[in-house]
Amino acid sequence: MLGQNEQNIKKRMEGRVAINKVLMVLFGMATAVGLVFLVLLFYRVLTQGIGYLSLDYILNFPAPYPEEAGIYAGLIGSVFLMIIVAIFAVIIGVATAIYLEEYAPKNKFTEFIRVNIQNLAGVPSIVFGLLGLTFFVYMFNFGYTLIAGGLTMALLILPVIVVAAQEAVRSVPAEIKEASYGMGASKWQTIARVILPAAIPGILTGAIIALSRAIGETAPLIIVGAATAIYTLPESLLAKYTVMPIQIYNWTGRPQEEWQYVAGAGIIVLLAVLLLMNSIAVLIRNKYQRRL
């Protein structure tokens, strides 16, 4: 009887090991497929755009001829836009998360708000473009300006930052909070000196993901009137502007083959800016993680 049980256990273990090996191969194949297409994408972009990439290309404004065209207006416009987006989205998103986790009563209405914020994170970006067109362009009378585009993109990524910040705040151990209260700290002192410093790595991770999405979006900015070609830099929040994705989109729609290479160079610049932005955020996150 004992020997039969040992045989049954052995068969089950062999079956589980076999299933584990099969799943490991399937997961490895799925990873390999993604990596292959990523490498092909990079190869395609580099081979198309590296020939047009130069300092003149980065410092020139758009032009009617491919050899004279540049991405300077889109580059500076994207930087200004991301500054506006980061200021509004991160401050409002983190404040909302703190209120929902630390101050809001735990009832069905609060849970309803949480669920709907999570649902908003999956809404198509063009819907936020229409929302920005209605409120910021027409109702607030900002027009087709930099501030309207920045606020629209802030709305787009706000749910992502709120959800990430909620998870980060929720992950702070209750023992740390209780120790702070036990030392006589008030609720706000505990939030500012204990909870936020411990949650910053998680908040920054969510902000990185959200801003990475925002810098590559095109549809909402087309709706709120970002220019496809502009020959000046925005001088104020109420100035006309363009961004790199809009310029790239415009170049890819032109029939001449040379414009495809110009667009490829623009994609390389966009990826470089995205990589630089993410690297800075990761360094800040790692700095706070070492403090903890």
pLDDT tens digits for 156-204?
999 999 999 999 998 888 888 888 888 888 888 888 888 888 888 888 8
Position 290 scores a pLDDT of 64
* pTM (2 d.p.): 0.83
Which DSSP symbol is given to 194? I
Q: Is the domain of 254 the same as that of 268?
A: yes
- Across 239-261, b (16+ Cβ under 10 Å) vs e yields ebbbbbbbbbbbbeeeeeeebbb
Alpha helices in 50-66 (DSSP H): 55-59
Would the pLDDT of 29 be above 60? Answer: yes
Position 292 scores a pLDDT of 57
Q: Is the domain of 150 the same as that of 190?
A: yes
Position 46 scores a pLDDT of 85
Domain count within the chain? 2
Would the pLDDT of 3 be above 70? Answer: no
Tens of pLDDT, residue by residue over 70-129, are 899 889 999 999 999 999 999 999 999 999 988 888 888 888 888 898 888 888 888 999
Q: Is the domain of 81 the same as that of 31?
A: no
Q: Is the domain of 185 the same as that of 269?
A: yes
Q: Is the domain of 195 the same as that of 258?
A: yes
CATH of the domain at 70: 1.10.3720.10
- What lies within 8 Å, CB to CB, of 11 at 6+ separation is none
* Of 118, 105, 88, residue with least CA distance to 237: 88
φ, ψ at 105 (rounded to 5°): -65, 145
Q: Is the domain of 105 the same as that of 245?
A: yes
Would the pLDDT of 291 be above 70? Answer: no
For 28, the domain range is 2-52
Q: Which of 10, 26, 52 is the last residue of a domain?
A: 52
Q: Is the domain of 8 the same as that of 76?
A: no
pLDDT confidence band for 213 (50 / 70 / 90):
confident
Would the pLDDT of 256 be above 90? Answer: no
Q: Is the domain of 160 the same as that of 30?
A: no
Q: Two tokens at 58?
A: 């980065």
Q: Is the domain of 40 the same as that of 103?
A: no
Q: CB–CB of 151/89 below 8 Å? A: no
Q: Is the domain of 30 the same as that of 152?
A: no
- Across 151-169, b (16+ Cβ under 10 Å) vs e yields bbbbbbbbbbbbbbbbbbb
Q: Two tokens at 218?
A: 């095109």
Instruction: Please state, as a whole number, how many other Cβ atoms lie within 10 Å of the Cβ of residue 148.
Output: 26
Would the pLDDT of 10 be above 80? Answer: no
**Who has greater pLDDT, 149 or 15?**
149
Q: CB–CB of 121/163 below 8 Å? A: yes
Position 122 scores a pLDDT of 83
Q: Is the domain of 136 the same as that of 266?
A: yes
Q: Is the domain of 163 the same as that of 274?
A: yes
Position 1 scores a pLDDT of 52
